[in-house]
Amino acid sequence: MGLLLAGCLMALPAAAPAQPAQPWIAVDFARTQLSGGVYYLDAGIHYRMSPALTDALHNGVSLVFEVQVQVAQARGWLWDAQVATITQRYRIEYHALSRLYLLTHLNSGAQQSFFRFPSLLTTLGELENIPLLDAALLDDDASYTVRLRARLAVDALPLPLRARAYMSGEWSPVSDWYTWSLR
């Protein structure tokens, strides 16, 4: 009886259907610092791709990721007033002939190439000294909050993949909003 029970328990994990690895994005940290009258953003974001996204990339589909940043002035009544909204866009491509991954910052046109995909994802997640906001635009007596999130830009996918992306979390990873005080 004991051997039969042990055999059944060992067979259970094999009988359970395998769940596809879900992609996810997590904001590890974000902060701002004032330098020369301008607030600059530093952030660390962790990206994990699903096999479906990785396969699409290796089959010629470019992936565009957005980092969205919003600065709001806290008000005691109604809603917070939006002071600034900034979006940083990055495109990831794989070139099969050279076996290189290419990361393009779409706001500036700057490009970097990588031999290893994990190295590209690490670099994608390192935001340093991004100009955010001129301090002269802010009221000295007001308090401001900043929030940041990262996501795959579903609207940048090829049309046949968009429907799949809207219906499946495997194709539309997005982080939670990360919120902190500007000052």
Q: What are the tens digits of pLDDT across the range 103-157?
A: 999 999 999 999 999 999 999 999 999 999 999 999 989 999 999 999 999 999 9
pTM: 0.84
Asked if residue 171 lies in contact with residue 152, where contact means CB atoms within 8 angstroms, the answer is yes
Average pLDDT of every residue of the chain:
88
Q: Cα–Cα distances in Å, from 160 out to 91, 96, 97, 134?
A: 19, 22, 25, 41
Domain that holds residue 117: 22-181
Q: Are 118 and 154 in contact (CB under 8 A)?
A: no
Identify the residue with better confidence: 143 or 15. Answer: 143
pLDDT tens by residue, 31-66: 999 999 999 999 999 999 999 999 999 999 999 999
Q: 103 in a domain, yes or no?
A: yes
Tell whether 131 is covered by a domain: yes
Q: Is residue 51 part of a domain?
A: yes
Number of domains forming the structure of the chain: 1
Q: Strands across the sheet with 144-152, in order?
A: 111-114, 100-105, 81-95, 63-73, 144-152, 178-181
